[in-house]
Amino acid sequence: MKSMKLYTNVQRIHNELAALGIGLDAALRVDQLTPFDQYHYFGTEAVDEALEVLQLQPGSRVLDVGSGIGGPARYIAAKTGAHVTALELQPDLDEVARDLTARCGLSSRVAHVCGNILDGAAAENYDAVISFLCFLHIPERPKLFAACRAALKPGGVMYIEDFGKSRPVSADEAKALLVKVQCAGLPGKAEYESHLVAAGFGDVSISDVTASWKDFTASRLAMFRAARARGIEVHGREIVDDLDDFYATVAQLFHDGAIAGLKIVAR
């Protein structure tokens, strides 16, 4: 996983907070973190779109698969009063996530679990499963979707943002995807749908958002480069170079039409 440079030096969020004058033990608000803790596209705007679909209530139970440093989980818990289980594979991300959640006073509403969705989710009573840009890392789709299906209550809903296949990729693109994005292969839209249906999801809708993700990844890279000097001041050159490499790789893949962006609702 650490060959994907978004996932190295994840403590860098503390550098951003320090630049705002916020110390390591200070209490935090969710809105102070959201510019830095959303590891997907369009930040909380994308999470709000999910919330429109999910219609969560205070006390609803949500499983966030591949929760990163906990950005979407905290935002959802704070905004809706839902209880979110934040399942994250990588221990260092999970540790940063737990600390930030505690400092936001949200530990009673966000439960952090360090583990692999392929090992099965803890409970079978979630109203909703959400997953932002995690499934691209998991080639075993039948096993993945069976675990998600098993985690849901009857009538539950799963909301996914993920990469999909847009065309056959070149050898160089496949290597960039594998090494720098930890993505061994992607399903096309029809294959995605058939995997979900085979796992027991009866009502599946998939929207193609490739054009907006192409624009987002291009402007993320341009903005990051425009702020390079400040980035080096805050984080040091190594972190800035690592993130530049990751952002550039993804922007190039979208620019060249090598991958698609998909939003999926499966009931």
Ligand X SMILES: C[S@@+](CC[C@H](N)C(=O)[O-])C[C@H]1O[C@@H](n2cnc3c(N)ncnc32)[C@H](O)[C@@H]1O
Binding site for ligand X (CB under 6 A): 1, 38-40, 65-68, 71-72, 87-90, 93, 116-118, 132-134, 137-138
- Residue 70: CB minimum distance to ligand X, A: 8
Query: Do β-strands 110-114 and 126-132 pair in parallel, antiparallel, or remain unpaired?
Result: unpaired
CA distance between the termini of the chain: 30
Q: Name the residue nearer to ligand X (CB basis): 39 or 126.
A: 39
Q: Name the residue nearer to ligand X (CB basis): 93 or 152.
A: 93
Q: How many CB atoms lie within 10 A of CB 246?
A: 19
- Residue 114: CB minimum distance to ligand X, A: 9
Q: Name the residue nearer to ligand X (CB basis): 170 or 262.
A: 262
Q: In what order do the strands lie in the sheet with 259-266?
A: 110-114, 83-88, 61-65, 126-132, 152-165, 259-266, 204-208
Query: Mutual orientation of helices 237-255 and 210-226 as an angle, nearest 10°?
Result: 150
- Residue 176: CB minimum distance to ligand X, A: 16
- Residue 67: CB minimum distance to ligand X, A: 5
Q: Which two tokens stand for residue 10?
A: 């994840």
Burial of 45 (0-12, 13-18, 19+ CB in 10 A): exposed
- Residue 142: CB minimum distance to ligand X, A: 14
- Residue 14: CB minimum distance to ligand X, A: 17
**Cβ(74)–Cβ(106) below 8 Å:** yes
Q: Name the residue nearer to ligand X (CB basis): 232 or 252.
A: 252
Q: Name the residue nearer to ligand X (CB basis): 88 or 99.
A: 88
Residue 119's identity, in one-letter code, is: D
Cα 147 to Cα 158, 185, 197, 202, 262: the distances in Å are 12, 20, 14, 16, 20
How many whole angstroms separate alpha carbon 7 and alpha carbon 20?
Answer: 23
**Cβ(241)–Cβ(218) below 8 Å:** no
- Residue 156: CB minimum distance to ligand X, A: 19
Q: Name the residue nearer to ligand X (CB basis): 91 or 190.
A: 91
